[in-house]
Amino acid sequence: MINVNEEVLEFYNSGAEIGRLERGIGKIEYERTKEIISRYLPQEKVTIYDVGGGIGVYSKWLGQLGHEVHLIELSPNEVDYAIKINATTASLIHSIEVGDARNINRPDESADIVLLMGPMYHLTNIEDRLKALNEAKRTLKRGGLLVSTGITRYGSLLWGISVYGSQNKILDEIEFVNMIKGEIKEGQHIRPEKYSYFIARSYFHLPKEFENEIRNAGFSVEKSFAVEGPTWIVPRVDTVWESEESKKTILDMARMVEEDENIMAMSPHFLTISIKE
């Protein structure tokens, strides 16, 4: 029996992903993630497994592009939500089911692309992350593409002293400071009880560490990108985003530094493209 972190399951069963990419810095994450993935999508129809794909936001987008997308998600409530949404959009997602990244119920070499844009930070020990990577490799065809996302080890620190810190006195709270110390020292994100709205139990990577884990699973790392880069620090991003000119400037600035190793760890998310050889 595979162990499931109850905090993670409760977090996503409670609807944490609903609307997340439609507000705040999630808007930048969504646009940039689509943009980066689009550079690697073939024009012909391919089979894609979106493993740990939440409520299916990216699955729906890829389905709209004409690909055969299978959404596999650990949270039953998110699966139910995705099924309801999919029923209203002409079944753009080919299949939706409950599943675990460490044990994907799909045949060997049956996918052209596998997305791991969640499991790599919610699997908090290296053994489980390696299981997920090996499952992705098993289900990918030779030459297939792995798209994986990590969260930076410095995310909470940067968030606390910039966007969020201006709203209250969280920087004066010892629980918050101790949480950050643990993240920076060991990568382990353990949220205090008082911050139940923070992301659930996670492992936050250093960019090169993230790449090395993927290489150690036998993939060839093609390239890593800072998804948001430093642009997420912009004040009042929801208001700024309403201006098409400002939105374009934000995205242009993110592109300018997307491969800069000096910036990578400042980005809330980094996305790595890898190949199964």
Residues 6+ apart with CB under 8 A from 104: 49, 51, 72, 135, 136, 138, 139
Question: What confidence score (pLDDT) does residue 162 get?
Answer: 83
- In tens, the pLDDT along 180-205 reads 999 999 999 999 999 988 999 999 99
Question: What confidence score (pLDDT) does residue 4 get?
Answer: 60
Is residue 3 predicted with pLDDT exceeding 60? Answer: no
Q: Which residue has the tokens 């998110």?
A: 78
- In tens, the pLDDT along 45-77 reads 999 999 999 999 999 999 999 999 999 999 999
Residues 6+ apart with CB under 8 A from 138: 104, 108, 109
Task: Pinpoint the residues of the chain covered by CATH 3.40.50.150.
Answer: 6-152+205-275
Global pTM reads: 0.95
Given a contact cutoff of 8 angstroms between Cβ atoms, the answer to whether 18 and 81 are in contact is yes
Report the percent of the chain where pLDDT is more than 90.
Answer: 88
> Is 3.40.50.150 the CATH classification of the domain at 6-152+205-275?
yes
Count the neighbouring beta carbons within 10 Å of the beta carbon of residue 95: 15
